[in-house]
């Protein structure tokens, strides 16, 4: 673990946080791994932004809420209190990750299908990922 960089640990945490739900035994195993990775960050004295310590189960509701909060396409859904603005996209994302696609690719594909490739970029995807994983300071 000592040769793993802080960036790699955070990336692993993001990946674990955005995998689709599976059996409760597998989810328990994931939570143990999340705890181990956070312990590695703690051992190194890392105080920067990191994903939540509590594993989430990805669902349409969780993904939709993250899209609503991040509003990656600047639809002003928050100002308009349109909480289901991204519901169709959330469903597509969930289906994509359930079929083995990583979250970043699933978000990119779903957003591009609705808004077009020319309007979607990595910064938007990252803002949604940060919402999904509960990215916060130490």
Characterize the bridge pairing of strands 49-50 and 136-137.
Answer: antiparallel
pLDDT in tens, 30-53: 999 999 999 999 999 999 999 999
CB 14 within 8 A of CB 133: yes
pLDDT in tens, 77-93: 878 788 888 999 999 99
Query: What angle (nearest 5°) sits at the alpha carbon of residue 28, between those of residues 27 and 30?
Result: 65
| pLDDT at res. 1 | 46
| pLDDT at res. 2 | 60
pTM to 2 decimal places: 0.87
Query: In this model, does residue 128 exceed pLDDT 60?
Result: yes
Sign of dihedral through CA atoms 21, 24, 30, 34?
positive
């Amino acid at each position: 673990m000592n040769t793993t960089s802080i960036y790699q640990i955070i990336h692993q945490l993001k990946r674990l946080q955005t995998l689709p739900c599976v059996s409760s035994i597998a989810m328990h195993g994931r939570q143990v791994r999340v705890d181990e990775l956070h312990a590695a960050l703690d051992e190194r004295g890392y105080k920067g932004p990191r994903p939540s310590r509590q594993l989430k189960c990805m669902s349409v509701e969780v993904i939709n809420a993250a899209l609503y909060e991040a509003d990656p396409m600047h639809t002003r859904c928050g100002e308009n209190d349109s909480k289901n603005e991204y519901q169709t996209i959330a469903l597509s994302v969930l289906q994509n990750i359930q079929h083995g696609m990583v979250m970043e690719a699933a978000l990119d594909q779903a957003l591009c299908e609705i808004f077009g490739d020319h309007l979607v970029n990595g910064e938007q995807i990252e803002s949604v990922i940060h919402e999904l994983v509960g990215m916060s300071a130490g």
